[in-house]
Amino acid sequence: QKEVEQNSGPLSVPEGAIASLNCTYSDRGSQSFFWYRQYSGKSPELIMSIYSNGDKEDGRFTAQLNKASQYVSLLIRDSQPSDSATYLCAVKGSSNTGKLIFGQGTTLQVKP
Amino acid sequence: DVKVTQSSRYLVKRTGEKVFLECVQDMDHENMFWYRQDPGLGLRLIYFSYDVKMKEKGDIPEGYSVSREKKERFSLILESASTNQTSMYLCASSFIGESSYNEQFFGPGTRLTVL
């Protein structure tokens, strides 16, 4: 079982719709959770961090964390073609090394 | 803003050459990381360092070494480049410790081609 799992996609949504990206993790002691956006040929860019159960909103982005079920999700409201990218879920496990475990990423396509 | 810079965006080397990739961060981060990213394989950790002169192997250290002589600089060395080391190399840095959530910030990446 992979430590951090994401559906590779592609996930295709029409412009203006809500895109829902999901991630599950295996280490129950995981502490911090991150979403990165990566455009083709570019490096990952941190867009959301979440540490406590519940929702965290930042503009059109909402991160949701459920530690009991070991999943974290990212909702993108009013999706725009510029949101088309690969979204990487990253998890800081129970160790204190500072290492993050990355999922393989979900490719999102927003169609005009 | 956190800034992580890498010495080259694109690099072409020949098989057997010694290759140096350099990374510099300006946020006084303790942790620094080297990843490679290949299609279908995701981000894979090569080495990381949590302090000057300290290093730990990641998931795929074979064929690579690292050097951290100063806190802000972390170098990745390919002792004898091979074609299977053609990849995108990404450097990242983060704070360490209980007061930090360990967000990693990435440099722009170096696309290395070994011929």
Residue B40's pLDDT is what?
A: 85
Burial-class residue B73 by CB neighbours within 10 Å (0-12, 13-18, 19+): middle
pLDDT in tens, A11-52: 999 999 999 999 999 999 898 999 999 999 999 999 999 999
Residue B62 DSSP one-character state: T
The whole-angstrom distance between A44's CA and the closest CA on chain B is 6
> Chain A: residue nearest B98 by CA?
A96
Q: Rounded to the nearest 10 degrees, how much is the dihedral formed by the CA atoms of B37, B46, B41, B22? A: 10
Greater confidence, A102 or A8?
A102
Give residue-wise pLDDT tens across range A43-69.
Answer: 999 999 999 999 999 999 999 999 999
β-sheet bridge partners, residue A34: A49, A90
Closest CA to B33 of B83, B76, B86, B2: B76
What is the average per-residue pLDDT within B32-55? 94
Q: Does residue A82 sit in helix, strand or coil?
A: helix
User: What is the interface size between A and B, counted as CB pairs within 8 Å?
Assistant: 51
- Percent pLDDT > 70 in chain B is 94
Q: A91 CB near a chain B CB, below 8 Å?
A: no
Instruction: Indicate if the pLDDT at residue A9 is higher than 90.
Output: no
Q: What is the mean pLDDT of chain B?
A: 93
